[in-house]
């Protein structure tokens, strides 16, 4: 079988910004507390390490290193929050790239099979609400399994899918997944119910018999619900007021 491998570089202003070696250098600086310590750990010259770090500094919008000198404990260097963020972004992209290449290795012997696989995995969905999280619990039944998905430390939802889907998708604890929910499957309420997410009504668009409600959950997440106009009006809620988006676990589509 053909084995696929590749490197990953993040470019900025048409110049190489972050690669595997540079990310490793940042991590070693964070570990050893100095550029000299990082260079020694990586078995490279101090000048080569300094040149690499300097190139990153010139391309970055924000500082990557905070240096301190003298004092009782001596000098040293510390990574900024931006540098730590770059490390996380790079490692996530590298992991995603590796998993994608691994997933297509078995299709590299046949052009038609490879094309079909790539087309299948590039399909776009009409589901308005796409939530990303990781599986924290799997409760198996005879036909369906109930998945608990953590969207963040405070926000969890339940989704019900068939055991066959569990097998086909390779679902297991800690696996990262997408939960897709059509707008027509969401219901807006004023009281917390099972499988509900609290937010603030930021926008409403009324039709003749239906209404589209935009519920902002946080800075990055907004859910959209399409529901019966009279049912929504009976809630007596307006823009900028709190409400809940609720849905049945069986109305969730799981994607990976």
pLDDT in tens, 243-254: 999 999 999 999
Name the phi and psi angles at 40, rounded to 5: -65, -45
pTM reported for the whole predicted model: 0.61
- Residue 2 DSSP label: P
Specify the CATH number of the domain 182-249. 2.40.50.100
206: tokens are 């009324």
**What CATH number matches the domain at 10-101, 3.40.50.1220, 1.20.1440.230, 3.30.70.330, 1.10.10.10?**
1.10.10.10
pLDDT at 192: 93
Q: Tell me how long the chain is.
A: 256
pLDDT band for 41, please (50, 70, 90 cuts). very high
Rounded Cα distance, 227 and 79, in Å: 49
pLDDT band for 242, please (50, 70, 90 cuts). very high
Domain boundaries, the chain: 10-101, 129-178, 182-249
Kindly state the average pLDDT of the residues 74-86.
Answer: 86
Kindly state the average pLDDT of the residues 112-127.
Answer: 71
**Which is higher by pLDDT, 70 or 164?**
164
Closest CA to 243 of 191, 205, 204: 191
42: tokens are 């990586």
Q: Are 11 and 19 in contact (CB under 8 A)?
A: no
**Which is higher by pLDDT, 123 or 80?**
80
Cβ count within 10 A of residue 10: 15
**Which is higher by pLDDT, 99 or 160?**
160
Rounded Cα distance, 78 and 90, in Å: 19
Same fold for the domain at 129-178 and the one at 182-249? yes
In the chain, DSSP assigns E strands to 10-12, 15-18, 65-68, 76-79, 129-140, 144-150, 156-162, 176-181, 187-189, 196-206, 210-216, 222-228, 242-246, 253-255
Architecture of domain 129-178: Beta Barrel (2.40)
pLDDT at 73: 45
In 141-175, DSSP assigns E strands to 144-150, 156-162
Q: Say yes or no to pLDDT of 74 above 70.
A: no
pLDDT at 71: 47
Q: Are 3 and 9 in contact (CB under 8 A)?
A: no
């Amino acid at each position: 079988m053909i084995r696929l491998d590749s490197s990953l570089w993040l470019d900025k202003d048409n110049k190489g910004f972050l690669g595997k070696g540079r990310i490793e250098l940042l991590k070693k600086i964070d570990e050893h507390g100095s550029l000299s310590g990082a260079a020694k750990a990586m078995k490279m010259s101090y000048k080569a390490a300094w040149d690499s770090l300097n190139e990153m500094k010139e391309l970055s919008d924000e500082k990557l290193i905070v240096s301190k000198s003298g004092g009782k404990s001596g000098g040293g260097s510390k990574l900024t929050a931006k540098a730590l963020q770059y490390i996380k972004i790079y490692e996530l992209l590298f992991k995603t790239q590796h998993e994608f290449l691994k997933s297509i290795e078995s299709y590299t012997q046949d052009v038609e099979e490879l094309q079909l696989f790539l087309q299948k995995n590039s399909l776009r969905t009409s589901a308005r609400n796409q939530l990303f999280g990781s599986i924290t619990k799997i409760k198996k039944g005879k036909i369906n399994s109930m998945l608990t998905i953590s969207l963040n430390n405070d926000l969890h939802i339940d989704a019900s899918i068939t055991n066959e889907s569990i097998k086909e998708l390779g679902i297991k604890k800690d696996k990262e997944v997408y939960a897709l929910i059509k707008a027509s499957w969401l219901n807006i309420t004023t009281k917390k119910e099972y499988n509900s997410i609290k937010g603030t009504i930021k926008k409403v668009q009324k039709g003749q018999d239906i209404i589209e409600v935009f519920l902002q959950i946080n800075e990055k997440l907004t859910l959209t619900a399409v529901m019966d106009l009279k049912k929504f009006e009976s809630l007596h809620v307006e823009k900028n007021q709190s409400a809940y988006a609720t849905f049945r676990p069986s109305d969730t589509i799981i994607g990976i």
